[in-house]
Copies of this chain bind each other. A is one copy, B any other.
Amino acid sequence: MIDERLASLNITLPSPPKPAGSYVPVVIADKLAFVSGQIPIKDGKVVYVGKVSEDVTIEDAQKAARLCIINALAHLKTELKSLDRISKIVRVSGYVNSSSDFTEQPKIINSASDLLFEIFGQKGQHTRIAIGVSSLPLNSVVEIDLVAEITLV
């Protein structure tokens, strides 16, 4: 079902990007699946680098946030085999590479939240934090992690 929904939204999940360090992409503890922080990597390269509004437009930062979600879902699909096992998106944390006077982090992370709602409907309605940070790994414009509730098989 979620695969069909992704197809109808013209979203193809990539081969999930390798973690940029010595950790793993997904750990499941009981009914919670924790996903490592994702950056907007495509074909092995960080696509959007720098600070929002200085180096990257808000529109591009929004695309970056969507790409983080797509990478997170690619990892979850690899781990869970089927995204239909996701019963709920629980938490999204969005870290936006920001100069000290940028205050529109919600605008960026909304594009991640909206995408989750488009894909998962009610099950995609999550809690969230959105904060500005001074810098991010590989100079990514945004990093997003998430926690999902899954059904056990």
Query: Residues of A with Cβ closer than 8 Å to B?
Result: 19-27, 29-32, 34-37, 51, 88-93, 95, 98-107, 109-110, 113-114, 117, 125-139, 143, 145, 147, 149
Whether B21 contacts A128 by the Cβ 8 Å rule is yes
Q: Which residue of B lies closest to A107 (CB)?
A: B21
Complex Cα spacing A127 to B75, Å: 12
Complex Cα spacing A145 to B3, Å: 32
Complex Cα spacing A149 to B92, Å: 19
The smallest C-beta distance from A59 to any residue of chain B, in angstroms, reads: 17
Whether B90 contacts A23 by the Cβ 8 Å rule is no
The smallest C-beta distance from A53 to any residue of chain B, in angstroms, reads: 11
